[in-house]
A = this chain, B = another copy of it.
Amino acid sequence: MARRTGKYTLTMENSPSVIGFAAVASKKESEGPMARYIDILNDDSTFGEKTWEKAESRMQKDAVNKALDKCSMAASQLDCIFAGDLLNQCISSNYGLRELGVPFVGLYGACSTMAESLALASLFVDCSMAQHAAAVTSSHFCSAERQFRFPLEYGGQRPPTAQWTVTGAGAAVLSKASMPPYVKAVCLGTIEDLGITDLNNMGAAMAPAAHSTLTKFFADTNTNQNNYDLIVTGDLGAIGTELLYGLMRESGYDISTVHNDCGLMIYDRDRQDVHAGGSGCGCSAVVLCSYILQSLREGTLNNVLFMATGALMSPTSVQQGESIPGIAHLVHISSQP
């Protein structure tokens, strides 16, 4: 069973395998560099549903079913599913997964949810609390915009620091079966708040959390950036990434040569008008459950630190003058057991 390494890190004993994974996304993502790795691309962002919230639920359901398909499993073989999303009361997950009949652990980690759910699913499998467990999350540009910012019809101007919420979902199935990729360790993050209050600059609010979790993990495991071929954050975007580099340098680590950010990978910022990059729970979920896990399976990537960050505010808390707390959870995934 997983054992504590240092103060914050949990190292797997049996390195659970990600035996199935799938990503679902829509038109804008189909025009970006990740498109060829994504399992289901639908140009119609309603996915045939009547509302954007239902469309988002549908993506979660499709992602889980596709991930199960790809490892020839039925939902009934899952012992547990860990899921959450950005919508109020996490309705994408609740409605998207209600028909599965699988014990359900609802999470709220904002855009850190893919790492949070993957971490918990891995721990459950490693400790034999589940034979098979799934992790899933999603976001939708249209449901997120109207909930967090303005109705789309309002046509608000977006500042250059703003990011573009990914319309997509990702799901991963964890198992004791031995095949690459393997989850080696997880590091659950603490809430960090350096007082950022700009709702259009989420990357800046989340960078301190990424710094906190990554330095804790390096210290716990006595490793540094040289031990990994990719350190990938969820959706810091261009501005948050620069801030993270600065914070890491102050702690004595130069991660710039080995780091990338899912928000910078999913769109082509030269051709696509996404300002500071992609964001949302679906951003890291789609990139992880397509390109990253596929590359780890094929061995073109070998040691990846997947660290999704979340901004833990709400429109209400921001209106009340509160700053934006961030959190980052880290999962170490390897091509070797």
Binding site for B on A (CB under 8 A): 1-4, 8, 10, 50-51, 53-54, 79-80, 84, 86-91, 94-95, 97-98, 100-110, 116, 120, 123, 127-131, 188-191, 193, 310, 312-317, 320, 322, 325, 327
Given known A-B contacts A1-B127, A4-B79, A127-B1, A316 and B107 have beta carbons under 8 A apart = no
Q: Is the CB of B317 within 8 A of A91?
A: yes
Q: How far is the CA of A53 from the CA of B315 in the complex (A)?
A: 12
Known interface pairs A103-B188, A327-B104. Does A10 touch B129 (Cβ–Cβ under 8 Å)?
yes
- CB-defined contacts of A101 to chain B, threshold 8 Å: 190
Which B residues lie within 8 Å of A91 (CB)? Answer: 312-314, 316-317
Q: Would B322 and A3 count as touching, CB distance under 8 A?
A: no
Task: Provide the residues of chain B in CB contact with A109, threshold 8 Å.
Answer: 105-106
Q: Which of B103, B127, B316 contacts A53 (CB 8 A)?
A: B316
**Pairwise interchain contact B94-A312, C-beta atoms closer than 8 A:** yes
Measured CB to CB, the closest approach of chain B to A9, in angstroms, equals 10
Q: Which residues does chain B contribute within 8 Å of A51, judged by CB atoms?
A: 320
In the bound complex, residues from chain B placing their C-beta under 8 Å from that of A80 are 188
Chain B residues whose C-beta falls within 8 Å of the C-beta of A128 in the assembled complex = 1, 3-4
Return the chain B residue nearest A76 by Cβ: B7
Report chain B residues within 8 Å CB of A88. Answer: 88-89, 314-316
- How far is A193 from B294 in the complex, measured between Cα atoms in Å? 36
| A110→B94 CA distance, assembly (Å) | 11
The 27 sampled A-B contact pairs (Cβ below 8 Å) are A1-B1, A1-B128, A4-B129, A8-B103, A50-B320, A53-B317, A87-B316, A88-B89, A88-B314, A88-B315, A89-B110, A89-B314, A89-B317, A91-B313, A91-B314, A95-B312, A95-B317, A95-B325, A98-B191, A98-B312, A103-B189, A104-B327, A105-B188, A106-B109, A106-B312, A106-B327, A123-B127
Q: How far is the CB of A270 from chain B (nearest CB, A)?
A: 33
Contact A108:B110 (CB < 8 A) given known A80-B188, A314-B91, A317-B53? no
